[in-house]
Structures are given as C-alpha cells and as structure tokens.
Structure 1
Amino acid sequence: MTDPISADFVHALMPDLREALREAASLALPFFKEGGHTSAKIWSKAGGSPVTEADVAVDTFLKIRLSQIVPEAAWLSEETADDAERIGHDLVWIVDPIDGTRAFLSGHRDWSIAVALLKAGEPVVGFVNAPALGHDYEAIRGRGATRNGAAIAAARDAALPTARVTGPKPMIDRLERGVSRDRAEPAFDRIDRIPSLALRVARVAEGSVDVGLVSSDARDWDLAAADLILREAGGSVCDMAGVATVYNRPDPVHGELIAVPHGLRDGVVAAWAKGR
C-alpha cells in the first residue's frame, strides 16, 4: 500500500487539492463585492464574531471534498464543531473556509481560504488561496513554496531597524521600543495591517513583508497552512521566545506569535523582550 504521508504521495494529491481550492473559491467569490458590502447572509457566532453563508458553503464543500481525497484524515475547521477524535490522530485536515471574514464582508480583497494537512501535528501540505487577488500560495514539506506556481523565498537580507513590519499597532510599538534601546531612530516601514492572518504569514514567505506580528487568540486554522509555506520559504511562525508553533493540541488557540525569516528571528525575539 502507498504510504499516505510520503512526499511523493502528497505530490500526487496536488492536482485534486488545487481543483478543490478552485471550486471553493468559486463558491465564495459570488458573495464578495470589492469595495462594498457582501451579498451573503450574516450571523454572529458566540463571542460576536461574524460568519456568512459563504463561510458555511466553503466549509461544507471542503469537508466533503477533502475527506474524499484523504479519507484517513480527521478534521478541524473554524466553522465545524470540534471533534475530540482529532487528538492524537495521525492525519488531520486544518481548514479556514474564509480567513479574514470581516475583510470579506466589507469588500477588502485581503481574505483567503486556508487548507493544511497535518501529519503527527506537523503540516505536510499547505494552501493559502486569495481569490479576490488571484494569488495561490502552496507548499509541500521538503519541496519548497510557490505563489501562482513560481518559487518564493522570505527576505534574507532584511535588517530589523528598517524592516517592513505588519500586525497590531501595540505589538509593533513594543517591538520598536525594543529596537530603539540600541538605535536613536528606529524606522520600521509599517505595512497596513493585513486582515487575513494566513495572508499576513504568506507575505512574509514571499518576501513582501519582513515581520508579521500576530496577537494572542489565533487558531490552528488561521496559521497551519501559511506556516508551512513560510517554513518552506525560509522562515517560521514562532512564539515570542522563538519556539516553533505546534498544531493539533487539545486547545488549538495560540498566544502572541511572530512570522519571520530565519535571519531575523533572534533579533525580533531580543527586541521584543527589551520592549516591555
């Protein structure tokens, strides 16, 4: 029997996975109105965050389709009730049907569909599809990362004092304070906050952003797919001590995180500690 987690096996799945992502995008796009309010029906989840009929449609479709592609895999997504069966399960799909729902609602193009397949808690395949932008990021563990089929790489020569940084303002302010202890005039290039966490991480992977900061309360589905893309592009998502992110724990919620190229990680961790 073919090993269901080998790189060759995953590579063979890619045409079916790409088609599934394209179909999922085709379900969401008719509800998106660039620069205007979505035509989708909207509900409020517990805690007040919005969910639309587009989220539900994409989630339902992907659960059926991805389960056909890799039936051995368990399931964790933002819009499906968590099933404890996934804990300790060898293979798990991690899905965010629409990451950046508020952007989707308001007509901002920075939303995405994020899909990862985990093996023993580690992502082995990752997709971040940004339908309104026409950008498709993907990665297979050990085989590099691409955007629209072209290889991408995280910035290798960025310097922290002048880095392109995005994320919540209080986190950027703290990081800047940490740098300012060593320089008279830190000059971060502050990039507008990117609503989709998956896209925030993917842009570090493609080198258009140097540091992506993530506030506490992000979930596995926001991060796992983009994290693999960044790992394959020469970076990682880690906590504020530089420890790599772990997925498919009983509680899929994370604390404050950094998406960063390998060469900047230690500097960011040190500056963060100084910026208290």
Structure 2
Amino acid sequence: MSSQTLPIAPDLLPQIRESCIEAGKLALALFRPGAPTAARTWSKSGGSPVTEADIGVDTFLRIRLSELLPEAAWLSEETVDDAQRLSRRLVWVVDPIDGTRAFMSGSPDWAVCVALLDDGVPIAGVVHAPACGATYTAVRGGGALRNGAPIATTGIATVSGARIAGPKPMLDALARLEPFAPADKIPSLALRLARIADGTIDAGLVSPDARDWDIAAADLILSEAGGRLSGGDGQPVVYNRETPIHGMLVASGAALASPLLSALRRLRDSQPQRS
C-alpha cells in the first residue's frame, strides 16, 4: 500500500475513538465499581487472568477496526499471534482491557487501548478509561488530548520531588538513591503512561515483560504530550518485532528523562555483580 493511498491518521482517529467508546460500554456492562466483576473469569496458560469482557471487547474491536482498515494486520493480547503482521506495513495493536485485574476487582483503573502502527511506528492511538471518564487520543504530529482538551507533561527536571509510579520494588530501589514522591499504584500500564502525559504524575517505571499492546497507544499519547518512553539505557521502543516483549522501560516528561535515566544507571551500577 503506497503512502499516497494511506488514510491519514487524523481521518481515522475519530472512528477509532468511537470504536473504543462503544467497546468500553460492553465492558462496563460487566464492571462492578468496588466489587468483583459480573463477568465469567478464568486463567490463561501463563496464569494471567482473562474475562468474558476481554474476549467480547477484542472480538468487537477486531470486527470494527478491520472494517475501518481491512489491509491492516492484527496484534492483540487476546488473539493468537499471526506472523503475517511482520510483513505488513499497517498493524492494529489492541489491548481490549489493559488492567484486567483492576477490572475484576472493581477498581476503575483499566482501559481499552488501540494503536495503529505504520512501519512499526504508532501513528494513531486511543486509551479509553470508561470507569474513569477519561479518553486519551493522539495522532503523530498532532498533539495529545484528554476528553478533547490538549494535554502536556509537567516540566519538572529533577528526580527529587517528582511524583513517580511503578512497581514497588523498583520504586524502593530508586528511593535509596534519590528522594521522590511515590505516586499511587496505577494497575493499568497504559493509564500510568497517560497520566504522565496529562501531568497527573511526573514519571513512571515499567518492569520487564510489557507487551506492544500494553504501551503502543499510550506511548504515542505520551510522546505527543511532550514526554518520552524509552528502555532503561535510553534506547527507543521498537514495535511489531517477532517477539513483542520489552525490557525495563522508563517514562517521563522530556525534562525529566535524562535525570531519571541517570539515576537508574547509578542504581544499576551500585548493584552487586554476580560472578
């Protein structure tokens, strides 16, 4: 498919957004605020939980998004991976419910996530958190929005005093080097990044094992809001690889990126070396 015939992301984004909002309504029908979900639940082969809401949303989005852009390949947490995506220019990357455990327990911090990749680069992204009343959207080069209003990361440039979210072991280790303000736990990784994008928090740490579907949409939103997601050594995140799994990641506003990465390198260097 040539670049001349590729529908531009701004034309697609409203339809992606509406698809996510409709998908969110399907999930909300089985969500119980502050109480266990009404959805049937079971464990996948690796032990992670899944619900009938995850599957229902995944099926709905695959039908709807495939109608929008039939030539795009598909990569989703709840669908068996198809290697044909590796040879496709356009790929939908979907997490029907990011934060399934939160959804199951009645926490509002879960989201429907959709990104469109063009040659491995996110060009459109939506993170829709229906139980929080928040819809984040972005197109490459067009800025990021929350419920239609522009958002931006904070300008904080020092780890000291920054509000940082992430896994407790990582935060505890960082705190031994630099004082900061641990943020409340955000079970959805996509929402952790989105809340950096809108300035709710300043930074986030991500333990190894995140997948493309956890981060692709939120990565674009964060980038368009003036932030940065990178590997622990500052390397860019690469999508649509044969194995779509990532190592440790660091997210923050642009001004905080280098100081935070520097602190993490010092932390790594201070760890005892294994023989």
**SS of residue matched to 1:253:** coil
* Alignment root-mean-square deviation, CA: 1.3
Offset at 1:175? 2.0
Q: Is the aligned partner of 1:250 residue 2:242?
A: yes
Q: Which runs of 5+ in 2 are unaligned?
A: none
**Kindly tell me: are residues 4 and 172 of structure 1, through their superposed partners in 2, closer, same or farther at Cα, counting changes over 3 Å?**
farther
Q: Is the aligned partner of 1:269 residue 2:261?
A: yes
Partner of 2:45: 46
Partner of 1:182: none
**Kindly tell me: are residues 4 and 135 of structure 1, through their superposed partners in 2, closer, same or farther at Cα, counting changes over 3 Å?**
farther
Q: Is the aligned partner of 1:230 residue 2:222?
A: yes
**SS of residue matched to 1:3:** helix
Partner of 1:76: 75
Partner of 1:123: 122
TM-score by length of 1: 0.94
Q: Distance in 1 between matches of 2:175 and 2:65?
A: 42
Q: Is the 8 A contact 1:236 1:244 kept in 2?
A: no
Partner of 1:218: 210
Partner of 1:10: 9
Q: Distance in 2 between matches of 1:33 and 1:249?
A: 36
Q: Distance in 2 between matches of 1:210 and 1:260?
A: 6
Q: Is the 8 A contact 2:125 2:218 kept in 1?
A: yes
Partner of 2:172: 173
**Kindly tell me: are residues 193 and 131 of structure 1, through their superposed partners in 2, closer, same or farther at Cα, counting changes over 3 Å?**
same
Q: Distance in 2 between matches of 1:87 and 1:250?
A: 7
The sequence identity of aligned pairs, in percent, is: 55
Aligned pair count? 267
CA distances 1:26-78 after superposition (whole Å, capped 9, x unpaired)? 11001000000000001110111110000000000000100110111100000
**Kindly tell me: are residues 2 and 118 of structure 1, through their superposed partners in 2, closer, same or farther at Cα, counting changes over 3 Å?**
closer
The aligned amino acid for 1:39 is A
**SS of residue matched to 2:4:** coil
Greater CA drift, 153-162 or 69-78? 153-162
Q: Distance in 1 between matches of 2:260 and 2:174?
A: 7
CA distances 1:182-231 after superposition (whole Å, capped 9, x unpaired)? xxxx2x11111100000000001001111111111110000000000000
Q: Is the 8 A contact 1:40 1:53 kept in 2?
A: yes
Partner of 2:61: 62
Q: Is the aligned partner of 1:209 residue 2:181?
A: no
**SS of residue matched to 2:109:** coil
Q: Is the 8 A contact 1:219 1:252 kept in 2?
A: yes
Offset at 1:259? 1.0
**SS of residue matched to 2:29:** helix
**SS of residue matched to 1:175:** helix
**SS of residue matched to 1:132:** helix
Q: Distance in 1 between matches of 2:157 and 2:136?
A: 22
Partner of 1:36: 35
* Structure 1 residue ranges (4+ consecutive) displaced by more than 6 angstroms after TM superposition: none
Q: Which runs of 5+ in 1 are unaligned?
A: 180-185
**SS of residue matched to 1:47:** coil
Q: Distance in 1 between matches of 2:156 and 2:257?
A: 13
Offset at 1:158? 4.4
